């Protein structure tokens, strides 16, 4: 386990947005997050949750980096912000990305904490500004998702012998 290092000042986030938002932190499973006591109730770790689905359903918006969770969350048609503070390092010395985020990300791509905080100031405007881009993304990457994947698998393997829906 590696200690998770926040890429922005979590106290500054809590001070600026804590009366409006609760920031839910979900780190990579190999990271261990320790929150400062000063952000209690305003920043909450949900990293121990075995399934991210309920967390996604709770979230009004998502801040992510290069994670594939963007594909799942996009289906909810809610705003996303891509915080790529380590872009050069990640693209040049790591795994790269699924596509050019600056071209196809279904939300703004920001690199600094200041840009991130500015974008989050008005979530309604963010949702409105990115609506078309998000719909295009879902059409391209989520075209087969109808919300009944488990029933489709049961039908595929067992036929329509029992109504799985």
Which residues of the chain carry a pLDDT beneath 70? 87, 90-91, 94, 160-165
Residue 162 makes CB contacts below 8 A (sequence gap 6+) with: none
What pLDDT score does 161 carry? 60
Looking at residue 156, what is its pLDDT?
Answer: 84
Query: What pLDDT does 5 receive?
Result: 85
Residues near 81 by Cβ (< 8 Å), separated by ≥ 6?
61, 62, 63, 64, 107, 108, 110, 116, 119, 120, 126
pLDDT at residue 16, rounded to an integer = 97
The C-alpha atoms of residue 26 and residue 33 are separated, in whole angstroms, by: 9
The two tokens of residue 94 are 């790591």
Q: What is the pLDDT of residues 16-56, one digit of tens each?
A: 999 999 999 999 888 899 999 999 999 999 999 999 999 99
| pLDDT score for 87 | 67
pLDDT of residue 30: 86
The DSSP code sequence of 37-87 is GGGTTTEEE-TT-S-SHHHHHH-SSEEESS-THHHHHHTTT--EEEE-TTH
DSSP 2: E
> In this structure, what DSSP letter does residue 121 have?
T
pTM exceeds cut of 0.95 = no
Give the pLDDT confidence score for residue 77 in this predicted structure: 94
Rounded Cα gap, residues 158 and 75, in angstroms = 27
Domains of the chain in start order, with CATH, are 2-158 (3.40.50.12580)
Task: State the pLDDT at residue 91.
Answer: 67
For residue 28, give the nearest of 100, 95, 127 by alpha carbon. 95
Q: What span, in angstroms and rounded, lies between the C-alpha atoms of 72 and 83? A: 17
């Amino acid at each position: 386990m590696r200690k998770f290092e926040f890429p922005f000042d979590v106290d500054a986030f809590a001070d600026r947005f804590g009366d409006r938002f609760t920031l839910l932190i979900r780190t990579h499973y190999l990271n261990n997050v320790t929150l400062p006591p000063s952000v209690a109730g305003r920043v909450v770790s949900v990293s121990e949750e075995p399934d991210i689905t309920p967390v996604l359903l709770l979230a009004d918006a998502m801040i992510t980096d290069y994670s594939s969770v963007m594909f799942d969350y996009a289906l909810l048609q809610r705003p996303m912000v891509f915080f790529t503070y380590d872009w050069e390092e990640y693209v040049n010395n790591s795994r790269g990305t699924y596509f050019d985020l600056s071209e196809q990300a279904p939300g703004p791509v920001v690199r600094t904490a200041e840009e991130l905080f500015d974008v989050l100031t008005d979530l309604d405007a963010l949702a409105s500004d990115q609506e078309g881009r998000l719909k295009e993304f879902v059409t391209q990457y989520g075209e087969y998702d109808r919300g009944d994947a488990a029933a489709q698998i049961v039908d595929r393997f067992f036929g329509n012998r029992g109504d799985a829906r």
